[in-house]
């Protein structure tokens, strides 16, 4: 209980992320699939981080600052919140990718996704989901790496010898995200396939309006939050000039606008193509 209280106190943004994931996943696929994704995603996320902090694969060499996590739960040298984040982030990426590839229509509860097991379990969805999540990391990591200048805090540091960097982030880190996120999504697809073969179908736990668009809503909200932090850092005189905050802001704006425009255009065309606009 003390660990939970400490996470609520020090990491409210992580708690919000995980709770939102639990609601969206349960609304889309039911409680069983939500809990399976939470366990599988957290386990693989933890394993990849554990191996990387000892071998440099898949994210490159880095370490967390223990002093930044008072009274919080650690599993070996990895804080639990990091592993939970992988489960939530990969589900949102998977759900949004599945929506973008699926036919959409207007139904009793707003925009609906036409469910298709073949597409849902496809390698195409797993690969594109990993790319979508890594796309987000190109925006998030340069800002989290400046955590000592906002409320996040300086939670980790890089010790890699990589020569290629993206605003103090080794480029190999992004390949690590691709590998880890693909592994989590694909592992859950394999479990889904087994459940479907055994006649255990996805049964939404409850209905919410525009259910298939909630993952898009998460991404837009997350991007707007990171953009607001970026703007705050841009005008924060405490941020050293060598941190290139102006270029980081440009990086954020380009990636965020491209993401939002692409998703809105794709979804709008799908609805129009299915005569689903009301």
The dihedral of CA 99, 21, 125, 190: what is its sign? negative
| 27 belongs to a structural domain | yes
Q: Are 33 and 152 in contact (CB under 8 A)?
A: no
How far is CA 106 from each of CA 23, 112, 264, rounded to the nearest angstrom?
Answer: 22, 6, 16
**Structure tokens belonging to residue 134:** 């890594």
Tally of structural domains, the chain: 1
Percent of the chain topping pLDDT 90:
73
pLDDT in tens, 112-153: 999 999 999 999 999 999 999 999 999 999 999 999 999 999
Q: CA 42, 47, 51: angle at the middle one, nearest 5? A: 150
How far is CA 41 from each of CA 21, 48, 145, 186, 206, rounded to the nearest angstrom?
Answer: 12, 11, 23, 10, 23
| 278 belongs to a structural domain | no
Long-range contacts of 232-240 (CB under 8 A, 24+ apart): 232/150, 233/143, 233/146, 233/149, 233/150, 236/149, 236/150, 238/149, 239/146, 239/149
Mapped onto helix, strand or coil, the DSSP state of residue 26 is helix
What span, in angstroms and rounded, lies between the C-alpha atoms of 270 and 105?
8
Buried b (16+ CB within 10 A) or exposed e, 42-60: bbbbbebbeebbeebebbb
Q: Which domain holds residue 14?
A: 2-273
Q: Are 125 and 134 in contact (CB under 8 A)?
A: no
| 82 belongs to a structural domain | yes
pLDDT in tens, 14-72: 889 999 999 999 999 999 999 999 999 999 999 999 999 999 999 999 999 988 887 88
| 179 belongs to a structural domain | yes
pLDDT in tens, 189-226: 999 999 999 998 888 999 999 999 999 999 999 999 99
| Band (8; pLDDT cuts 50, 70, 90) | low
Q: Which of 99, 91, 96 is nearest to 36 (CA)?
A: 91
pTM of the model: 0.93
């Amino acid at each position: 209980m003390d660990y939970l209280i400490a996470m609520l106190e020090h990491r409210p943004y992580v708690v919000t992320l995980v709770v939102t994931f639990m609601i969206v996943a349960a609304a889309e696929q039911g409680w069983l699939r939500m809990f399976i994704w939470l366990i599988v995603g957290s386990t693989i996320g933890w394993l990849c981080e554990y191996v990387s902090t000892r071998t440099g694969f898949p994210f490159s060499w880095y370490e967390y600052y223990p002093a930044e996590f008072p009274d919080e739960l650690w599993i070996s040298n990895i804080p639990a919140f990091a592993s939970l984040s992988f489960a939530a982030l990969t589900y949102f990426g998977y759900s949004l990718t599945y929506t973008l590839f699926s036919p959409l229509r207007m139904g009793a509860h707003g925009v609906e996704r036409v469910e298709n097991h073949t597409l849902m379990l496809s390698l195409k969805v797993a690969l594109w989901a990993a790319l979508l999540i890594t796309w987000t990391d190109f925006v998030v990591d340069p800002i989290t790496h400046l955590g000592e200048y906002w409320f996040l805090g300086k939670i980790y540091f890089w010790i890699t010898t990589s020569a290629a960097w993206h605003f103090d982030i080794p480029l190999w880190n992004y390949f690590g995200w691709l590998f880890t996120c693909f592994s989590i999504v694909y592992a859950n697809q394999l479990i889904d396939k087994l459940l479907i073969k055994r006649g255990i179908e996805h049964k939404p736990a409850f209905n919410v309006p525009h259910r298939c668009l909630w993952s898009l809503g998460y991404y837009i909200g997350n991007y707007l939050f990171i953009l607001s932090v970026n703007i705050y850092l841009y005008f924060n005189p405490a941020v050293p000039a060598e941190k290139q905050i102006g270029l980081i802001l440009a990086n954020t704006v380009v990636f965020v606008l491209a993401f939002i425009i692409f998703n809105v255009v794709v979804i709008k065309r799908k609805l129009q193509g299915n005569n689903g606009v009301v």
